C-alpha cells in the first residue's frame, strides 16, 4: 500500500480520535445505566420491534471497533436512556460529526488510489437516518461505500448469521461458563465478601474517571476526598468548619481532619462490603494512618490499583482538559473530546475554561510533588504485596477492562 500523505494521516488520526471518543461516550452511558448485558439490550430492542440490535454489534460499537449506522446508534441510546428527545438529538449530532470525519478519511484514501481495507467496508448501507449527514462529503462518501459494499456483502451476512447464533446460544454458554468457573469478571468480584480498593498513580493517570466505573462495576461507593470536604463544609459539620478555617487562611488541612471525615464516612452502611478510595492517601504517613484507621474495625485496604502513565501523556491529558463553569462534572478536551462549539459545553451550553491547576507550570509542580511524596505510597503497597499495576494509557473502556481483569487475577 502506498505511503500515506500528511493529509491522509491527519484525516485518519482525526477519525480515529472521534471514533474513540464516540465509543467512550457509549461506554459511559452504558455503565451509567447500570451496565445491562448486551443480550438484555438486544432482547429489549427486538421486543420493541423498532430495529434489530445484535449483541456482537453492540459490543463492537461500545468498544470502538466500528461506527454503527445512525439508526442503530439512536435505537441503542433509546434502549439505554428511554425516549429522551434531547438525548437523541445530542447523539444524532455526535454521530454526524464522527461520520463526517470517517468520510473525509475515506475520500483521502480514494483520491490517492489506495484501496479501502475490508474492515472499513463493513458499514451498514446508507439508511434514511444516515442521509441527514452534512452534505459536504456525502456524494463522494456514498460512492466509496457503494464500491466497498459489493466486496463486503458476504462478510456482513456471515457476521449477522454468527451474531444470531451467538445470541440464540447465550443461555447455554452462560451455564457452561459457570460450570467452568469463568463467570464474568465483575460478577466474580462482586461475590467477594468485601472489596476495598485505593487508587494511586501520577497526576493525569485517570484515577478520577476510572473510580466512577469501578465503583459501579464492583457495586461499592466511591469515597473521593474532595467530595468529603464539600459535603462536610456545606453541611457545616464540626470537621467541615475546622477544615474551612484552615482553607480560608490558605493553609493545608491537617491529616487528622481528613482522616476524621473518612472515618465518619466509613461508618455508613453502604461501605460495609467495600469502597473505592480516590484522592487519599497522598503520602506515606497518610497511607500508614489509613491502615491504622481500618485496623480499628478489623479491616484493611485489599488492593491499591496503580494506573501508570508517562509524563508526556499526563501533560497532554491535563493541559487539554476544559471544565464547564456551570457543572464541573461536564468535561471536554480540546484534542481527545473537542466540544462542537469552541469553549462551549456540549451538555449544558455553559462556558468551558482551563483550571489553574491544569496549567503546564502547576502540572510540573504536581509531578514533582508526586515523585517526592506519593511514589512512596506505591512502593509501600508493592512491598506489602497489595499493589495491582495497570497501564492507564488507552480509551476509557479499555483501561476499565484492563483494571477489572487485573483485580480479578490478583484476588484469584
The rounded distance, in Å, linking the Cα atoms of 274 and 262 is 13
Active-site entry in 99, 196, 242, 366: 366
Mapped onto helix, strand or coil, the DSSP state of residue 179 is helix
**Cell triple for 255:** 491529616
The rounded distance, in Å, linking the Cα atoms of 167 and 46 is 12
For the question of residue 321 being annotated catalytic, the response is yes
For the question of residue 207 being annotated catalytic, the response is yes
Active-site entry in 33, 66, 160, 282: 282
The DSSP bridge partners found for residue 387 are: 304
CA distances to 172, 277, 318, 395, 400 from 391, in Å: 34, 19, 17, 11, 10
Quickly tell me which residue has 509531578 as its cell. Answer: 367
Q: How far is CA 123 from the centre of its chain?
A: 25
Active-site entry in 9, 146, 241, 355: 355
CB 109 within 8 A of CB 116: yes
Mapped onto helix, strand or coil, the DSSP state of residue 304 is strand
**Cell triple for 228:** 468529603
Mapped onto helix, strand or coil, the DSSP state of residue 106 is helix
**Cell triple for 186:** 465483575
Quickly tell me which residue has 452511558 as its cell. Answer: 29
- Other Cβ atoms less than 10 A from the Cβ of 177: the count is 12
The rounded distance, in Å, linking the Cα atoms of 89 and 290 is 46
For the question of residue 311 being annotated catalytic, the response is no
For the question of residue 143 being annotated catalytic, the response is no
Q: How far is CA 8 from the centre of its chain?
A: 28
Active-site entry in 265, 321, 322, 380: 321
Handedness of CA 23, 360, 287, 380 (dihedral sign): positive
User: For residue 303, what is the enclosing H or E element?
Assistant: strand 303-308
Mapped onto helix, strand or coil, the DSSP state of residue 344 is strand
**Cell triple for 324:** 464547564
For the question of residue 341 being annotated catalytic, the response is no
Active-site entry in 99, 207, 337, 380: 207
**Cell triple for 332:** 471536554
- Determine if the peptide bond prior to 281 is cis (ω within 30°): yes
Catalytic center residues: 207, 282, 321, 355, 366
Amino acid at each position: 500500500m502506498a505511503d500515506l500523505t500528511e493529509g491522509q494521516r491527519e484525516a485518519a488520526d482525526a477519525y480515529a480520535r472521534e471514533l474513540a471518543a464516540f465509543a467512550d461516550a457509549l461506554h459511559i452511558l452504558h455503565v451509567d445505566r447500570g451496565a445491562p448485558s448486551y443480550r438484555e439490550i438486544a432482547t429489549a430492542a427486538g421486543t420493541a420491534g423498532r430495529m434489530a440490535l445484535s449483541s456482537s454489534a453492540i459490543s463492537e460499537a461500545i468498544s470502538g471497533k466500528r461506527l454503527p449506522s445512525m439508526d442503530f446508534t439512536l435505537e441503542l441510546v433509546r434502549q439505554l436512556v428511554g425516549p429522551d428527545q434531547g438525548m437523541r438529538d445530542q447523539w444524532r449530532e455526535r454521530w454526524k460529526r464522527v461520520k463526517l470525519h470517517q468520510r473525509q478519511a475515506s475520500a483521502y484514501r480514494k483520491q490517492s488510489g489506495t484501496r479501502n481495507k475490508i474492515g472499513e467496508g463493513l458499514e451498514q448501507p446508507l439508511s434514511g437516518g444516515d442521509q441527514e449527514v452534512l452534505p459536504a462529503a456525502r456524494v463522494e462518501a456514498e460512492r466509496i461505500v457503494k464500491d466497498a459494499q459489493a466486496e463486503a456483502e458476504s462478510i456482513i451476512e456471515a457476521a449477522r448469521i454468527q451474531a444470531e447464533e451467538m445470541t440464540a446460544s447465550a443461555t447455554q454458554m452462560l451455564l457452561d461458563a459457570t460450570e467452568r468457573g469463568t463467570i464474568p469478571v465483575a460478577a466474580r468480584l462482586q461475590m467477594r465478601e468485601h472489596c476495598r480498593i485505593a487508587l494511586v498513580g501520577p497526576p493525569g493517570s485517570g484515577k478520577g474517571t476510572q473510580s466512577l466505573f469501578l465503583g459501579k462495576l464492583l457495586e461499592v461507593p466511591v469515597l473521593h476526598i474532595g467530595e468529603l470536604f464539600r459535603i462536610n463544609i456545606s453541611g457545616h459539620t464540626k470537621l467541615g468548619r475546622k477544615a474551612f478555617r484552615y482553607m480560608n487562611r490558605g493553609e493545608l488541612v491537617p491529616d487528622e481532619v481528613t482522616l476524621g471525615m473518612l472515618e465518619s464516612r466509613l461508618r455508613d452502611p453502604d461501605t460495609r462490603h467495600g469502597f473505592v478510595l480516590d484522592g487519599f492517601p497522598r503520602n506515606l504517613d497518610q497511607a500508614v494512618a489509613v491502615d491504622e484507621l481500618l485496623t480499628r474495625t478489623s479491616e484493611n485496604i485489599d488492593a491499591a490499583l496503580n494506573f501508570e502513565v508517562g509524563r508526556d501523556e499526563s501533560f497532554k491529558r491535563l493541559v487539554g482538559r476544559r471544565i464547564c463553569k456551570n457543572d464541573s462534572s461536564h468535561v471536554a478536551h480540546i484534542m481527545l473530546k473537542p466540544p462542537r462549539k469552541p469553549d462551549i459545553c456540549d451538555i449544558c451550553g455553559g462556558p468551558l475554561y482551563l483550571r489553574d491547576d491544569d496549567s503546564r507550570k502547576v502540572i510540573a509542580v504536581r509531578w514533582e510533588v508526586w515523585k517526592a511524596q506519593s511514589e512512596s505510597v506505591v512502593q509501600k503497597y508493592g512491598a506489602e504485596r497489595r499493589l495491582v499495576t495497570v497501564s492507564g494509557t488507552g480509551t476509557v473502556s479499555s483501561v476499565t477492562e484492563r483494571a477489572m481483569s487485573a483485580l480479578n487475577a490478583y484476588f484469584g
